[in-house]
Amino acid sequence: NGGSQVVNEGGLAENSVLNDGGTLDVREKGSATGIQQSSQGALVATTRATRVTGTRADGVAFSIEQDAANNILLANGGVLTVES
């Protein structure tokens, strides 16, 4: 709990578990796949990320791909930056 992970340009995080109090920050041209997000895990991301996929605590799949974000849960300080 309370850990943080940053994925920079060209980086890839696979199968990360985003626990309560944790933060996953996926930056422009970074990727994170197979994320398991708790209800109080904070996702910080941009639509300029290459690919972000995972499952929320309620079982709903979420994604950021091709400049589009779907089903993103913004909790506990999570931020989604939508860019054109």
Share of the chain above pLDDT 90, in %: 95
CA distance 12 to 72: 19
Specify burial of residue 21 (Cβ count, 10 A radius: 0-12, 13-18, 19+). Answer: middle
Q: What is the pTM of this model?
A: 0.94
CA distance 24 to 29: 15
Q: How many CB atoms lie within 10 A of CB 70?
A: 11
Averaged pLDDT for residues 58-84: 96
| Tens of pLDDT, residues 13-30 | 999 999 999 999 999 999
CA atoms within 13 A on the CB side of 52: 32
pLDDT given for residue 2 in this prediction: 82
**Band of pLDDT at residue 47, cut at 50, 70 and 90:** very high
pLDDT given for residue 84 in this prediction: 84
pLDDT at 1 over 80: no
